[in-house]
Amino acid sequence: MQRTATVLVYSDDVNTREQVRLAAGRRPAPDLPPVEYVECATLPAVLSALEAGGIDACVLDGEAVPAGGMGVCRQIKDEIFNCPPVLVLIGRPQDAWLATWSRAEAAVPHPVDPAGLAASLAALLRRRLPAAA
């Protein structure tokens, strides 16, 4: 049986979570296993999912409220052992420095560009997962 990759998607906005799922699709790249999504709308849900384990990458909405994705990213990098790689959705190109501050491995603009998001997510999953056969 083929392994799946598990991607946590955090946003307080259900439409943003849906955009991420649709943009990345079931398989963001042919060399990767199928993706299952864990959707979280709150910071406690994110922390609970990460503490439970099994998350291969995170996509965090930098514009989420009340806990923005960049602050969440910095917190999980400090608190979660072997924290999965993080892709942050940024609202403005000028926010790229904040993504760096948050220690996110990647940042893509929101609204989501499907090709850009899929490529960035695929790169993060390749770092985390053993080579797909």
**pLDDT tens sequence across 38-92:** 999 999 999 999 999 999 999 999 999 999 999 999 999 999 999 999 999 999 8
The domain segmentation of the chain, as residue ranges, is 5-127
pLDDT band for 119, please (50, 70, 90 cuts): very high
The CATH number of 5-127 is: 3.40.50.2300
Cα(47)–Cα(40) distance, integer angstroms:
9
pLDDT at 133: 40
Measured between alpha carbons, how far is 83 from 93 in angstroms, rounded to an integer? 25
Confidence of residue 100 (pLDDT cuts 50, 70, 90): very high
> Beta strands of the chain (E only): which ranges?
5-10, 35-40, 57-61, 86-90, 106-109
Quote the pLDDT of residue 131.
60
